Chains A and B, each alone.
Chain A
Amino acid sequence: MELVVFVIAAAMVLVGAVGVIVRSNPVHAALSLILTLFGVAVMFVALEAHFVAAVQVIVYAGAIVVLFLFVIMLLGVDRAEDLKAEPFRLQRPLAAVLGLGTAGLVIASVVSARDAIGSGGALQTPDATGDGDSNIRQLARSVFGDYVVAFELTSVLLVVAVVGTVMLTRRIKTGKGD
């Protein structure tokens, strides 16, 4: 059963990821991205990270991809672009070599280290504890306990990002340019 879930989710992730880089229309690329993000969310559930899976669906597949689609529609770039044009020769072969090299090296190191990764104690899972909220409770203790300063700083980060974006994109009414 776990194997079936893994295979289906992995297929979603990889098909979506390839779709993002080969679809010529940015809207189709964004929709492929949703497929990948849902596949990753399924894997999070399989890995007993229930809260993170929910946040993945709400924030990533919901907010971020909608923001992408919103900008695509706003700018009117929802046309297929010509993927035949290559900015300079050898770009794609070099990119393919780099991609295969990255994947190969990381996979080789992961496989060679598969026994070296220790296995610590088990997470408190709902199945083990009989408490449906155990993942959320554990995560909340971590975020609001050990990492509370970082959590507060993310609120500063979000405010700075929003204010910065408003400054970047506003039109100056008095100036000649926009």
Chain B
Amino acid sequence: MLSAATPTTTWYLVLAALLFAIGAVGVLVRRNPLVMFMCIELMLNAVNLSFVALAKRLGDIGGQTTVFFVMVVAAAEVVVGLGIIVSIMRRRPGATADDVAELKG
């Protein structure tokens, strides 16, 4: 009975859209820069999920290759971003994303 409906590519793409939207809302509402970073990771994962779903649907391994590169770039991005956060937090403990606006000018 349960095997009557098998998840199709569309299901995965819909889930990826939901995950992306949750990540986008998180970036907009949270003020802790670390949590904002985690929300960016959520959005990257949503895109990875749709890449892999479409790789299966289209029978093209290129989608999985792209996910591989996205992961490498995400790792590099996290390293640089956390480095920036560490140097900001060292000067201003407890800084939120709003405080970083003082960097301008």
Contact = CB atoms under 8 A, between A and B. Distances in A.
Contacts of B13: 106, 110
B49 A138 contact: no
B100 interface: no
B7 A3 contact: yes
A111 B19 CA distance: 16
Interface residues of A, number: 87
B74 A161 contact: no
B52 A44 contact: yes
Contacts of A60: 41, 45, 71, 74
Interface in A58-84: 59-60, 63-64, 67-68, 71-72, 74-77, 81
Contacts of B82: 67-68, 71, 165
A150 B69 contact: yes
Interface string B23-49: 111101111101101110110010011
B79 A165 contact: yes
A18 to B, nearest CB: 6
A3 B48 contact: no
Contacts of A2: 3, 6-7
Contacts of A111: 10, 14
Interface string A91-133: 1101110111011001100110010011111110000000000
A13 B17 CA distance: 12
B96 to A, nearest CB: 8
B39 A20 contact: yes
A142 B65 contact: yes
Contact of A47 (B3, B12, B26): B12
Interface string B74-103: 111111101111110111011000100000
A142 B28 CA distance: 37
B61 A123 contact: yes
25 contacts: A3-B7, A10-B15, A21-B25, A21-B39, A47-B12, A52-B68, A60-B41, A64-B78, A67-B82, A71-B82, A75-B89, A77-B32, A98-B25, A99-B24, A102-B17, A110-B10, A114-B10, A120-B58, A135-B64, A142-B65, A143-B68, A147-B65, A161-B79, A169-B87, A178-B90
Interface of B: 2-3, 5-15, 17-26, 28-32, 34-35, 37-39, 41-42, 45, 48-49, 52-62, 64-65, 67-69, 71-80, 82-87, 89-91, 93-94, 98
